[in-house]
Structure 1
Amino acid sequence: MELQLALDLVNIPEAKELVKEVKDHINVVEIGTPVVINEGLRAVKEIKEAFPNLTVLADLKIMDAGAYEVMKASEAGADIITVLGATDDSTIKGAVEEAKKQGTKILVDMINVKDLEQRSKEVDDLGVDYICVHTGYDLQAAGESPFEQLRTIKRVVKHAKTAVAGGIKLNTLPEVVDAQPDLVIVGGGITGQDDKKAVAAKMQELIKQKSFA
């Protein structure tokens, strides 16, 4: 089980400062969609150059032109690139083929997928590396959480690793790690805290305890 830090509401200098603070306690750093919109793939490139030992995920939420966008993100230094599960199979297949050529990985984000169980099975058969349940900001505000969805995909996914995102904080992390995802994605649960380093360290400790339990 690994810990991913999601960076959404920062520019490149702020992102570097934040990652520097918590780098010893995270495994993956995500350049979130808002950062890519504001800063472009340069954000991916600069973070990978500054922190070569961390896995860098580019949250492009690809919906079309899978192969081309994966190629561009890979060239910028991304190790993992996101594609939306709501897209068609041909886009996912193109992304997977290009990722294999580039030596990168594909994470499929199941945000807003209506039939999670069925689509997870289909996506799992397309050769993706991760399938992620994701409760978006707007649904979090309405009180939803991703825990039940995580149990659903854990039940049906046979090949890909599983990931979970959406409002995870230190106090809800035990419930998440009990479900044994491979990747736990945390944004504001770290970035919104006063002592980011301490919170990230506690989260990593909880994850390690569960991984070896």
Structure 2
Amino acid sequence: MTFAPTPIPSRTQYVLEAIKHRILTGQLSPGQALVEADLAAQFGVSKTPVREALKTLAGTGLVVMSQYKGVTVRTVDAAMAREVYDVRLLLEPEALRRTITREASLAEAQEALVRAEQAQDRADRSLANRDFHRALYLPCGNPLLASMLDEVRDQAALVSTVAWAADPSWEREAHEHQEILRVALAGDAPEAGRLLHAHIAHFVRRAFPDDQEGL
């Protein structure tokens, strides 16, 4: 017998999305403390949905829970970025190749590119880009592979947001996304995988030029 996952209560979901948006716009900066009572007052809720939202965000890697420091926004540095992008480099191009080989629909990837182009801030753009990449790997036919990539996608969005604050290079990434999608829609799995690998590797190299080990 299988059980469906327990849905997140609406208040918790509201707080979760609000905190995530603040993190990805830089309103909550890396290393900043997140105090349950303060957040509850800001959002007009009890501490319970805030606590549950923070637990979920810790699970996705956007915040860190420490016995001594409490909850803080995750700090982004070259080591953290390298860990996240190593996983993506190993898994994401292969997942895209499988998606293309299966002739799966890429309509959601096309829609995500439109949303990224129309985004009003870094958070919306980052989340749209995250959805674009997910639309490339999700139909790969291997749920475990897709779930492994899902586990790092919020952290990848955080890396991109921090990097864009220093170097707003999203137009370059947007052109790369368009080319990846064009080749994918043409059915060229090897070339699409190669372009995606180069796209991921080049981004983190540009974002952290002083630390190239392992990238």
Structure 2 length normalisation: TM-score?
Answer: 0.28
Report 1 or 2 for greater relative contact order, CA contacts < 8 Å, sequence distance ≥ 6.
Answer: 2
The structure richer in strand per residue is 1
Q: Which has the larger radius of gyration?
A: 2
The structure richer in helix per residue is 2
Structure 1 length normalisation: TM-score?
Answer: 0.28
